[in-house]
Amino acid sequence: MTVPLREELRGIQPYGAPQLDVPVQLNVNENPYAPSEAVVADVAAAVADATRTLNRYPDREFTALREDLAAYLGHGVTPAQVWAANGSNEVMLQILQAFGGPGRTAVSFAPTYSMYPEYARDTMTRWVVGHREEDFSLDLGHAADVIATERPSVVLLPSPNNPTGTALPHEVIGTLAELCAAYDGVLVIDEAYAEFRRSGTPSALELLGAYRNLVVTRTMSKAFALAGARLGYLAAAPEICDALRVVRLPYHLSAVTQATASAALRHAPELLGNVELLRAERDRTVSWLREQGHRVADSDANFCLFGTFADRHAVWQGLLDRGVLIRETGPDGWLRVSIGTPEEMSAFRDALTATLEAAPLIEERA
């Protein structure tokens, strides 16, 4: 049977990193520290309580959760400025459903998160990608030219960036927000990895009061070790949240998801303590890679991008053969490793050293 698939979707492979059963999995930026027994018990109790009313639809406004998220974010964010969905992926898709669509354009600057063009494709939004500088920073002159030419309704930029880990300074975000506003566009700063920022790196949340077209998205998958719960959220002007209500599916956020997220937020200090461990391990990994002579992008995330290799796939395969799975992504020649436990990162260092010693011809290229 030939299914009536949209023509532009024919032959496309579904998105997803390899899911392989290997001892050390460092390819999808997960938090390696499972929730503690205290978190497990609190979530279990909250879910049990929610289960007693599963014959009823959940609170479609997820009022209690929005209050909890606003309190966690701080920076004067109110519940009316908070929206949530099933992972930041659904949040982004809803943004493109509301503000993109046929006849409209979304813009980003590569290298950037590989799902962005898929959100645009799925909402039939025209996709345009500019470029970043060699150090993965954003040239404002180039960005201004692209925005002036394309007049996008949505600009999507991760900060810290995925896959590079680099963050955007406030002056860049403010200028971009002003450029987008000139064409009635919204600027989305994707802060999925915000909790892993180095000391002194600011959050775009600080700018919400100054730019009403600014949207700051977050996730509970990384810092809160809730990748399996699927809870993403954003902070923005209330009118932006109201617009998303138009495109959301009825009762899109289950009672179980709402209960799980609120329970985890009650344990924020404990969970963010593990974030501190990962930040320290990331900095050690960056230093070690540089000591070995590799190029490494400055990272404010829970991963680092390193290279560059004449045959990066051979390096990736060599690591896999030694029981370590990382991600073959980003610009040509680069690889990305998620930050794991000290034991996992030791295994990564040993595997990378052994791989390059076994095949010196794939070592770093000029």
Output the DSSP codes for 186-198.
EEEEE-TTGGGPP
pLDDT for position 301: 98
pLDDT for position 319: 97
Q: Which residues contact 363 (CB under 8 A, 6 or more apart)?
A: 309, 310, 356
**Would you say 303 and 27 are in contact if contact means Cβ atoms under 8 Å apart?**
no
pLDDT for position 366: 44
pLDDT for position 18: 72
| Per-residue pLDDT tens over the stretch 43-95 | 999 999 999 999 999 999 999 999 999 999 999 999 999 999 999 999 999 99
- The model carries a pTM of 0.95
Cα(31)–Cα(195) distance, integer angstroms: 12
DSSP string, 164-223: T-PPPPHHHHHHHHHHHHTTT-EEEEE-TTGGGPPTTPPPGGGGTTT-TTEEEEEESSST
Determine what percent of the chain is predicted with pLDDT higher than 70. Answer: 98
Query: 103: which 2 tokens?
Result: 């006849």
pLDDT for position 161: 97
Residues (pLDDT < 70) of the chain are 17, 360-366
Identify the three-state secondary structure at position 5: coil
Task: Tell me which DSSP letter residue 136 carries.
Answer: S
pLDDT for position 363: 59
